Structure 1
């Protein structure tokens, strides 16, 4: 498995989804779809429109990104949170 800590993009990152021209802005990580209960790496909204309705959320995994158009803001808090998130994911996968 790739190093999740290094691969997870920060909130605010703008990406392109494989096989789709619409750009998306990431606003959540390690999200669970309330309808399917499936866990996804990211939840995003259409960019530049933003989160216009609950049914417009797009859930996807890191491997589905074809291009990072803009990388979101990163500081020490973001890096610490990403490390903690990666550790939690690793523990969950070992269970």
Structure 2
């Protein structure tokens, strides 16, 4: 698996009890300036508010339930930004 999963991918984190859906990649945390691989929201609820936004890195993923949509635009984006 490539390092960055596409938007819409549904995963469960190693420390998690609920699935989450990725909606952003290479995210900078405002308070610390730390760069995280992903930002996600609860699945299936979606983006509720900032208390339910999850920043995490690829190595924290326990299980991948669904890999998000991939087309030519996504593949070109990954090649340009993540390789």
Name the counterpart of 2:61. 65
**CA distance in structure 2 between the aligned counterparts of 1:16 and 1:55, rounded to whole angstroms:** 18
**Structure 1 residue corresponding to 2:47, chosen from 44, 47, 51:** 51
SS of residue in 1 equivalent to 2:21: strand
More helix by share: 1
**Structure 2 residue corresponding to 1:19, chosen from 15, 36, 46:** 15
Name the counterpart of 2:70. 74
More strand by share: 2
Q: CA deviation at 1:34?
A: 1.2
* Structure 2 residues without counterparts, runs of 5 or longer: none
Structure 1 runs of 4+ aligned residues shifted over 2 Å read none
Q: Does 1:85 align with 2:65?
A: no
Name the counterpart of 1:92. none
TM-score by length of structure 1 reads 0.82
Post-superposition Cα deviations, 1:11-32, rounded to whole Å, max 9, x if no partner, equal: 0000000032210000000000
* Structure 1 residues without counterparts, runs of 5 or longer: 88-95
